[in-house]
């Protein structure tokens, strides 16, 4: 099979694991009470889409450690996607994002179930928060019931703890720095902890540790995973404001409306004069910046060449990640797969 066929086949395997597992959990909810139907629907909807990159990095962390293909490992790798689903549901609540994958986000969709109830919007957000909590719990459940030996799973427990701690730390840092003076170094730290680690580095390390990776290989995974994870989020920030909503499935105005501390905003702010900063202040945090506001922000950013600088940061990080692969003693097929993953994570349109 060609690379695209192999990628599609891997994604189909992960999708099958996730869909079957989550459907069973949705049935358990419905067995408790039929009124839980809207919640069960959102649990299933949360895993209906995705590139399955986190599962892929976990899988290739295992394979690069010299291990063969394994259905049990695939189930463990699929649990990384439930972590991501939980993070997405929570992130959408925090940012009050209306769309994800072109569909209403969980807290928006759940309003329909509460239409005639008092404080329906607040209750829907609370329900969505609980959906996210359940998804994180299910991630751990799928991991420990993957079929891998208990001794293997025990080796990965400290990494699971670090993954959860660092992901939450990143979310908290983003909230604490929202509305503050934009700063590139501070934005990159948010990126590292909110996205880079749980998207690339930690799944790789978990897969590697499950497969018996030694110290040098784990160090190589971090040298590859951290810059690539940052490149992934930098690309996401660019697509968030300049991408095609038909492809991204998200509203272009989300980052402006939420006044997120993105590196794109920080790089714009760094070189902006007083007049441009005043223009940006008038747009940031506005509940509905509208088409005119969105275009005004894009004009300032483009004129000050901030998107170009972010592209350069992405390129530099992808190159750093692929150089790290050259220094690793891993099977050729794993090196090729991780090289392909580096480019698909950072060079994309959605």
Q: What is the CATH number of the domain that holds 85?
A: 1.10.600.10
Give the whole-angstrom CA distance, residue 213 versus residue 53: 20
Q: What percentage of the chain has pLDDT greater than the value 70?
A: 98
More confidently predicted of 310 and 95: 310
Structural domain boundaries enclosing 267: 3-346
Domain count, the chain: 1
Give the whole-angstrom CA distance, residue 6 versus residue 267: 38
- Predicted local distance difference test score (pLDDT) of residue 249: 72
- Predicted local distance difference test score (pLDDT) of residue 251: 67
Q: What percentage of the chain has pLDDT greater than the value 90?
A: 80
**DSSP label of 181:** P
Three-state secondary-structure class, residue 36: helix
CA diameter of the chain = 62
Each residue of 215-266: pLDDT tens digit? 999 999 999 999 999 999 999 999 989 988 877 777 667 778 777 889 999 9
Interval 312-326 mean pLDDT: 97
Interval 109-138 mean pLDDT: 93
Q: Work out whether strand 99-100 and strand 103-104 pair parallel, antiparallel, or are unpaired.
A: antiparallel
Interval 300-321 mean pLDDT: 97
The number of CA neighbours under 13 Å toward the Cβ of 236 is 18
Residues whose CB is less than 8 angstroms from the CB of residue 174 and which lie 6 or more positions away in sequence, other chains included: 190, 194, 260, 261
Confidence of residue 198 (pLDDT cuts 50, 70, 90): very high
Q: What dihedral do alpha carbons 58, 64, 66, 68 form, nearest 10°? A: 50
Asked whether 110 and 83 are in contact (CB, 8 A), the reply is no
Task: Report the chain's mean pLDDT, rounded to a whole number.
Answer: 93
Each residue of 52-74: pLDDT tens digit? 999 999 999 999 999 999 999 99
- Predicted local distance difference test score (pLDDT) of residue 111: 92
Each residue of 12-30: pLDDT tens digit? 999 999 999 999 999 999 9
Among 212, 263, 254, 210, residue whose Cα is nearest residue 235: 263
Residues whose CB is less than 8 angstroms from the CB of residue 56 and which lie 6 or more positions away in sequence, other chains included: 10, 14, 77, 337, 341
Lowest mean pLDDT among 41-45, 99-103, 325-329: 99-103
Q: Is the pLDDT of residue 165 over 70?
A: yes
């Amino acid at each position: 099979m060609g690379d695209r066929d192999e990628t599609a086949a891997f994604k189909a395997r992960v999708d099958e694991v996730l869909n079957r597992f989550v459907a069973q959990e949705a049935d358990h909810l419905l067995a408790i009470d039929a009124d839980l139907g809207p919640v069960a629907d959102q649990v299933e909807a949360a895993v209906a889409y995705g590139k399955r990159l986190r599962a892929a990095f976990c899988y290739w962390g295992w394979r690069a450690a010299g291990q063969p293909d394994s259905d049990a490992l695939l189930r463990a790798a699929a649990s990384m996607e439930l972590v991501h689903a939980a993070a997405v549901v929570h992130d959408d609540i925090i940012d009050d994002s209306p769309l994800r994958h072109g569909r209403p986000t969980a807290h928006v969709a759940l309003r329909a179930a509460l239409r005639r109830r008092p404080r329906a919007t607040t209750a829907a957000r609370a329900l969505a928060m609980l959906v996210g909590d359940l998804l994180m719990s299910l991630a751990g459940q799928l991991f420990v019931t993957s079929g891998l030996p208990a001794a293997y799973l025990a080796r990965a427990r400290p990494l699971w703890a670090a993954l959860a701690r660092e992901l939450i730390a990143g979310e908290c840092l983003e909230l604490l720095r929202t509305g503050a003076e934009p700063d590139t170094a501070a934005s990159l730290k948010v990126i590292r902890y909110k996205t880079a680690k749980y998207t690339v580095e930690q799944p790789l390390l978990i897969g590697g540790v499950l497969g018996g990776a030694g110290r040098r290989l784990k160090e190589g995974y971090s040298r590859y995973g951290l810059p690539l994870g940052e490149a992934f989020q930098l690309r996401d920030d660019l697509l968030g404001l300049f991408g095609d909503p038909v492809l991204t499935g998200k509203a272009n105005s989300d980052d402006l409306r939420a006044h997120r501390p993105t590196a794109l905003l920080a790089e714009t702010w760094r070189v902006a004069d007083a007049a441009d900063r005043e223009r940006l202040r008038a747009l940031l945090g506005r509940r509905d910046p509208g088409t005119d506001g969105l275009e005004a922000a894009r004009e300032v950013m483009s004129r000050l060449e901030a998107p170009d600088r972010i592209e350069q940061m992405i390129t530099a990080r992808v190159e750093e990640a692929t150089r790290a692969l050259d220094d690793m003693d891993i099977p050729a097929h794993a090196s090729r797969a991780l090289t392909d993953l580096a480019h698909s994570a950072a060079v994309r349109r959605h």
